[in-house]
A and B are shown apart, each in its own frame.
Chain A
Amino acid sequence: MQIKKDIVLFGYGSFGRQLYKNLRSRGHKVKVVVGLDDYVEIESDSAVDITRINIKRNDDILALNVNAFESIFYCAMNKTANNLFLVLTLKSLYPQANVIANSNSNETTRKLKYAGATSVIDLYEATSRRIVNVLTKPAVSMALDEIVYKQNDLKMLEIELEENTFLEGKYVNEIRFRQMGIILIAIIDKELGYELVFTDHRINHKLDAGDILVIVAKKEDISKFQEMLKKG
């Protein structure tokens, strides 16, 4: 169900490495780009595709030969200034490009967003929430560990409904998701525009092809569900 996109990852510092690891484990193709004199630490057992360029030059970036429509750019350089500059460069070269940048504070996020980053990942925001949760909401923190952080059976994922599934035309309330081992958290209902709606609201959505469901479930239940969707 996932779309495997080509990824261009700028920067291979500690954050870049983690991003690379996670992207690879999800089956994406990743091209790593670093500055000419950036220090790169590579584990001996991984074959990372690294290109060195002068990130200040447009020609060098154009020479990477990236299909901007099919790719996602990650700006994960160590220096905020470099990330900001990269976002500006990429956006001016490819106005439609999908650019994700990492930030370390609200202040930087604001600047990156202004520069045109599609989405910004704050390095510390999630971590700080996690730390505070351990102190104040231990159950929440452990539940999030199980669902989000730990590598285990539980997964959160999105599923886009295709044509002619058994869900087509049905209302959310009619379907016993919980009995299938699935918790439906949020939904994008195309009829209501492209806004993400959490299902704790009163609205009873009618499901159509093109709607996107965000669910949490165990792996086996997910595969069962996907089988059912395919059967129609």
Chain B
Amino acid sequence: MEKSKHKLLSFAYFLESSKFYNKIKKFVYDLIENDEYKYKRYFDIFMIFVILSSVTLLVMDVKRHIPHWLDDFDLYFVTTVFVVEYLLRMWVYSDIHKIIIDEYEESSYFDKEVSFYALFRKIVKNKWTYISSFSAIIDLIAILPSYRGLRVLRVFVLFRAFKMLRYTKSLTGFLYVLKNKKFELMTLLTLSTFFIFIAGIMLYVFEGDNENPNIHNLFDAFYWALITISTVGYGDIAPVTPEGRVVTMLIIFTGIGLISFVTSIIVSSFNERLGVLREDRVVQEVGKKKKLTVVCGYGLLGRLVVKGLEKEGVDFVIIDRNEEMVALAYNDGHHAICADATKGTIFEKLGIADRVSHVLCLTSDDIQNAFIAVNVKSLNSEVYVTARCSDQEIATKMEYAHVNQVIMPEEVAGMMGAVYAGEPVAFEVLLSIIEEKEKTHINEIAITEGSFLDNKMIGEVNFKRLRLILLGVFKRSEASKLGEFIFNPSDDFVLNAGDNLVCLGYSTAVANLKRKM
């Protein structure tokens, strides 16, 4: 006994540490459960194909018998696929070896013996939560038609169609809507059952005793009530007495009311859900990008920044709490999500751990910006965070929170405004450089290895002929990525690969130099 326990435990630890086992499990999990995994799509398509073929066979089988090999295909191949899928899902649902380890560690902490029975119960309970889940039940029922003994089971093939819900996201969304409005729909269902019950009994009482040849029993009356209240009205059973007709008139009115009620509930629920569905799609689309910038706040500044980012070809997504702003961004053709950027959820969805490289906090509220910045930094301190701020005191606090760049629009504009007072010409130059109003822009050019600028002295390069004004050079160093800015380097300054030139000039002149390199 003791020995087998020991064996079990060491096997559990072996699985825990086995790279191969974990890799395989992760792969299977990604393939069948992880929507963001790129190959999951192929798995989904394959499953949909299997399901459709099985349903097609069921339909074809009604009028004429299908060839033997197709029947075998249905019986063996489809069943195997479903059984394997069912077992795999159960497998990746949870880790048994973790339960064993936990149980063992807990027992050894309290100096207790591990009992096989308790362990077994825990494992079964854990897997039972999966087995009893809605989708698992559907999966199981979908396997049943393979048992050919009972003809009735064939109908369960249609449950295979239900299985398709799993592989198509929009359908899951619809189910979610129904689930969301469970209370309202249940109330309406109860109400309509009540009406059908009353109306059915009334008609039975009025016309059941041989007045109406079509009503033989209470079931007929209920059937009539349902057909009438749903406004379908086949007419196979119709009231013949004045009393019966009065009942009919009453339930027709209630029927119309109920139906419009149900419709409006589902429609409104869909509208509520629309934002989430759209958000899912945006998350999925930006999920393909390797480097993502998150812009929080689509106000005046946000819009300008987004325009700039778009021009430079940066991949970005906009988050705003205000639905109107999100709609605006959406209409401007950007990826936008209505969410609270002070919460972690949205950033986790966007992949704060690996994909997000920059977060820009640009709302008009300083405290909100600080809040977002701290939120992001606490999730991943590597992310470069820029925060807008209009108060020096708050700026200090942001710097304390290691916000990489705190920017104060009022300060920048105030500085520029003051330049105008004494030096209107310098102001104009500043404006055209900073806001890129003229054709002459400030630009950077990285020196590539082996290019004609590599190992050259500044004095040897004729910048005038290149139509560029050299402002300075960032000398590459081990310590920092960009290195130190050397303003107006002297003629004997040697350029090396990895250095960055900062120049003023037409973008064509810059492009020309880049081409030369």
Binding site for B on A (CB under 8 A): 2-5, 7, 14-15, 17-23, 25-26, 28, 72, 74, 76, 100, 102, 104-105, 119, 121-132, 134-140, 142-144, 146-149, 154, 156-158, 173, 178-179, 181-186, 188, 196, 198-202, 212, 214, 216-218
Contacts and interface: CB of A to CB of B under 8 A. Distances in A.
B471 A2 contact: no
B512 to A, nearest CB: 12
A202 B467 CA distance: 7
Contact of A126 (B413, B438, B446, B504): B413
A80 B436 CA distance: 24
A25 B425 CA distance: 19
Contacts of A124: 300-301, 304, 409
Interface in B437-476: 438, 440, 442-444, 446, 464, 467-472, 474
A225 to B, nearest CB: 13
A199 to B, nearest CB: 6
A142 B442 CA distance: 12
Given A157-B426, A216-B471, A135 B421 contact: no
B413 A183 contact: no
A19 B443 contact: no
Given A5-B421, A146-B487, A185-B469, A19 B414 contact: yes
12 contacts: A17-B414, A121-B417, A126-B413, A129-B435, A130-B412, A134-B384, A136-B314, A137-B443, A143-B444, A178-B488, A185-B429, A196-B425
Interface string B289-306: 000010000001100110
Interface string B304-320: 11011100101000000
Given A22-B418, A23-B418, A140-B444, A125 B429 contact: no
B416 interface: yes
B386 interface: yes
B517 to A, nearest CB: 15
B167 to A, nearest CB: 38
B413 A121 contact: yes
Contact of B420 (A100, A125, A129, A137): A100
B429 to A, nearest CB: 5
Interface string B392-432: 00000000000001011111111111101111111111101
Interface in B313-359: 314, 358
B415 A149 contact: yes
B435 A127 contact: no
A26 B421 contact: yes
Contact of B472 (A3, A143, A182): A143
A155 to B, nearest CB: 9
Contacts of B410: 14-15, 17-18, 123
A138 B405 CA distance: 12
A214 B156 CA distance: 84
A105 B300 contact: yes
A14 B469 CA distance: 36
Interface of B: 293, 300-301, 304-305, 307-309, 312, 314, 358, 360, 362, 384, 386, 388, 390-391, 405, 407-418, 420-430, 432-436, 438, 440, 442-444, 446, 464, 467-472, 474, 481-482, 485, 487-488, 491, 500, 502, 504-506, 509
A182 to B, nearest CB: 8
B407 A127 contact: yes
B421 A23 contact: yes
Contacts of B307: 128
A165 to B, nearest CB: 17
A197 to B, nearest CB: 9
Nearest to A217: B488
Contacts of A74: 417
B386 A15 contact: no
A7 B360 contact: no
Contacts of A201: 467
B300 A7 contact: no
Contacts of A142: 474, 482, 485
Given A126-B434, A183-B469, A72 B421 contact: yes
Contacts of B474: 139, 142-143
B334 to A, nearest CB: 15
A200 B467 contact: yes
Given A137-B443, A183-B471, A200-B504, A100 B417 contact: yes
Nearest to B509: A200
Contact of A128 (B308, B432, B433, B470): B308
A104 B300 contact: yes
B413 A102 contact: yes
Given A18-B415, A128-B301, 14 more contacts: A15-B414, A19-B418, A25-B418, A28-B418, A72-B420, A124-B301, A128-B308, A129-B308, A130-B407, A135-B309, A139-B446, A139-B474, A186-B429, A198-B438
A132 B434 CA distance: 11
Given A134-B405, A200-B509, A26 B417 contact: no
A79 B502 CA distance: 38
A206 B505 CA distance: 21
B393 to A, nearest CB: 11
B423 to A, nearest CB: 4
B308 A140 contact: no
Contact of A28 (B300, B422, B509): B422
Contacts of B422: 2-5, 26, 28
B462 to A, nearest CB: 12
Contacts of B420: 72, 100, 119, 121
Nearest to B466: A200
Interface centre among A22, A135, A149, A202 (most CB of B within 10 A): A135
Given A22-B418, A125-B304, A196 B506 contact: no
Interface centre among A74, A127, A130, A186 (most CB of B within 10 A): A127
Contact of A18 (B314, B414, B428): B414
